[in-house]
């Protein structure tokens, strides 16, 4: 059951600035993985489960060399674009992670898309919003961001028609944080 959106999220200032989300590049078969990334398995979700939850066939999974590990999943056909990204960030306190979650959502290019889901999972709040993932979608791809303890996790999808996919992926990975 999906919780109903709560009131608009609020945050107190922290030393965190939400970076504008930009489209990710394509990686065709035989193409070069971006610097700082390697081909590998995502530690939070299998490629098969990611494909099913996000709604696209995936041919390539990459993971960041940085910690905590970020994951990207790429579409199986031309243009071989990223269709899902899971990007965790660790903070000094749970309050900072929560505030960063709010500020990340507020950076949405479509402010009216922001929906808050208090207690999305027990003790975990989530916010869904539209953002940039796939350039042709012009900033209308759906994302979800949650904070669990000292970790904020941003889940971006290439889906521009339904917000549920990002929340579904978040629901599947939240237990790994």
The predicted pLDDT at position 177 comes to 96
The pLDDT confidence band at residue 65, using thresholds 50, 70 and 90, is very high
Tens digit of each residue's pLDDT (9 = 90 or more) over 15-42: 788 887 888 889 999 999 999 999 999 9
The predicted pLDDT at position 136 comes to 94
Q: Return d(Cα 81, Cα 156) in angstroms, integer.
A: 13
The predicted pLDDT at position 162 comes to 84
Tens digit of each residue's pLDDT (9 = 90 or more) over 135-170: 999 999 999 999 999 999 999 999 998 889 999 999
Tens digit of each residue's pLDDT (9 = 90 or more) over 68-118: 999 999 999 999 999 999 999 999 999 999 999 999 999 999 999 999 999
Tokens linked to 158: 């290439």
Instruction: Compute how many other C-beta atoms are within 10 angstroms of the C-beta atom of residue 110.
Output: 13
Provide the pairing of β-strand 151-157 with 141-148: antiparallel
The predicted pLDDT at position 21 comes to 86
Tens digit of each residue's pLDDT (9 = 90 or more) over 44-53: 999 999 999 9
38 burial level (CB within 10 Å; 0-12, 13-18, 19+) = exposed
CATH entry, 37-176, from 3.30.70.270, 3.40.1000.10, 2.30.30.830, 3.90.1150.10: 3.40.1000.10
Render the burial of 114-150: b for 16+ CB within 10 Å, e for the rest. Answer: bbbbeebeeebbbbbbbbbbbeebebbbbbbbbbbeb
The pLDDT confidence band at residue 7, using thresholds 50, 70 and 90, is low
Angle between helices 164-173 and 47-54 (to 10 degrees): 150
- What number of CA atoms fall less than 13 Å from residue 80's CA on the CB side? 12
Q: Where are the domains of the chain?
A: 37-176
Instruction: Compute how many other C-beta atoms are within 10 angstroms of the C-beta atom of residue 36.
Output: 10
Q: Return d(Cα 99, Cα 119) in angstroms, integer.
A: 16
């Amino acid at each position: 059951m999906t919780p109903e959106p709560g009131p608009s999220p609020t945050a107190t200032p922290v030393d965190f600035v939400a970076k504008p989300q930009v489209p990710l590049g394509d990686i065709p078969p035989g193409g070069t993985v971006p610097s700082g990334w390697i081909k590998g398995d995502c530690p939070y979700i299998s490629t098969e489960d990611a494909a099913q939850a996000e709604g696209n066939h995936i041919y390539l999974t990459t993971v960041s060399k940085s910690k905590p590990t970020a994951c990207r999943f790429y579409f199986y056909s031309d243009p071989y674009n990223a269709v899902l990204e899971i990007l965790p960030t660790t903070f000094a306190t749970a309050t900072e992670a929560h505030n960063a979650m709010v500020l990340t959502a507020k950076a949405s290019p479509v402010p009216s898309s922001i929906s808050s889901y208090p207690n999305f999972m027990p003790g975990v709040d989530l916010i869904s919003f539209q953002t940039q993932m796939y350039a042709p979608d012009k900033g209308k791809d759906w994302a979800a961001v949650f904070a669990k303890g000292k970790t904020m996790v941003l889940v971006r999808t290439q889906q521009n028609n339904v917000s549920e996919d990002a929340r579904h992926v978040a629901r599947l990975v939240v237990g790994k944080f």
